[in-house]
Structure 1
Amino acid sequence: MSGFRSMTATFFLMSSLVSLASAHHAAPAVFTDEEIEIEGVVSEFNFVNPHINIMLNVTDETGAETLWMVTGPAAPPMRRWGWTPDTVQPGQLIRFAGKKSRTGAPMLLIESAEIQSGRFVELDPADGSVIRRLQETHDDSQAPDASLSVALTLVDGRPNLSGMWLGGLGRTPQSPPPFNEVGAALQAEFDALNDPAFAECADHGLVRQAMSGHPLQITQNDDHLVFEYEQGGATRVIPLDGRIPESGEHTDYGHHVARYEGDALVIETTQLLGRLTGTRGNALSDSSTVTETYRRTDSPELGAVLELTLVVNDPEYLTGPWQMTWRKNHAATDYRFVEVDCVLPLAPGA
């Protein structure tokens, strides 16, 4: 390992256009379409949420060494593609390819197509030959399992929403917000580099967190529910007693009023802080309200499925309701969250 650390790495650059269709959701805004290749010695591999990152010491042809950050998707999809905390080790000489930062910072975005293709390689520092490709065997444990039996209701007749719900069904395409002139003007000024979740590791807020495509753990109790999210690490405690708010304070997750309606759980939230709702911006004001409706939509092909329909109303920024949905499959195995340890982006010249 010490020999690897003393090894001088070669820095490669190559430009090409890549398809936006395969881009990571933040790529068009935070990274460019220009692809570069780098080789460097790994100093850290952080297999964490909201994004995995690999720190590389890269030495160019002049002998100058720069610390680069290779950043990728969240831990859940990386797990599905077979990656673990041991896939990359400090001291290894690795070649990566991806998109470079808009700011000129020493950062590289790696995306799903390249991650799964085996394009990234570990190199022998003695002669530059390929030791192995970083192409892992897919982990199907998060895939829908039609043979899994999960009761539709609890013993008291309430819908059974408890358990770990995964993102194995993929993302549901969402309609754009119906902005009014004020909301549209704010959206036109949006720059993802100024997104607090990216630039400051700020909390995601209700809509962004609730609409995450990553795993969600729900625990149902007689008088309250607990929602725990993997990607952002948030926990919501939602009372079922219809209590009124203790004050008029607005917060990231607001004031919840929840109830069961037939086969559904309905959560109405007010007193929310104005927040961006995703990597594309789509800001909401502090006058916004949110209604979440959760119900089971099982099928013979997919097994136990949880569906969320989320509706936003915002008289300041929207002309009418904005509806979004997702579906998640029930975990067939003992799934544990990967920790959240958000890392700030590197600055230009870092």
Structure 2
Amino acid sequence: MNTLLFICLAVYSATAVSLKHVDNKYSRFIKYSDYDGVMHTVDLEEQLDTELLDDFFKNPDNNRYLLYTRNNPVVSQTLRLNNTNSITLSQFDARNPTVVIVHGWLNDQHTKLNIVLTDAFLRKSNVNVIVMEWRRLALSNYVTATAGVPAVGRRLGQFLEFLHSVTGAPFETMHIIGFSLGAHVVGNAGRELGGRVARITGLDPAGPLWNLNSNRLRASDAIYVEAMHTDGGVLGLGIGSAVADADFFPNGGTSQPGCLTSLCHHDRAWQLFASSVTYNHFLGRECSNMLQVSLNNCRGQILNMGNDDLSKKGSGLYRLNTQRSYPY
């Protein structure tokens, strides 16, 4: 095992020990329903797959960058880190904004959130959409996937730096979006770039093993960082606490109308975001504290939740109420 991996695993192990003794939100075993509706038991103290992690630290091709534009909205083109031709011979247009979408645990390039968000952005405006797939690690056990998030995120940051160097695409026209574990991935990508990208959106950032984790998404990771919390209840899959410049809590942030499972509450974050890109109709009301969020008695200023505005600014806690079905 190389020195860098050893150091990273040592740091992660220390964090995991701390979480066991200090963070009482989650027990060792949590229930998780997958996308086929099958319920699984997740062991938050499961053994790390160090061989897989070692490969992710060494091999940049474990991250795949799949480009979609209005010229190729269905069939992607693969862009590669340190491969100039893969970019210059593609449909990538540096004159257009760039949107990067990063999936979460147990997902891959074909997961519905990638398809829906890509379609929403391309219908709305002429942009480059890059779906970053990290399926080999995302399909491993949850503890291993969590431990590898910083490496995946740093590699994404290095890819965007390379994209900038090859094409001149400004960081100020980049919007990076991540769901669940992917929200922490994009935070690490933004950190690798020194917070220079225009905007990061975290869609219900993952909660288990992240409440006290220094590698989680934070406000300094981009010029503007926004988080949407939809499953932050006691045993929710989302982190539930403020992590960004602006944190939105639809329907209080713990459960969503029309949902009966934690996975449904969790997924509602990307569904709401996709709708906001199309309609920009969600108006959050600023709250003074989380008690106001819970009681739905916020009286502060209004800030739109979601949308595709690269110059968006704002800070604070926001509550809004939505409907049970699209466009919510």
Same fold (TM over 0.5): no
Higher RCO (Cα < 8 Å, 6 or more apart): 1
Question: TM-score, with normalisation over the residues of structure 1?
Answer: 0.23
Question: TM-score, with normalisation over the residues of structure 2?
Answer: 0.24
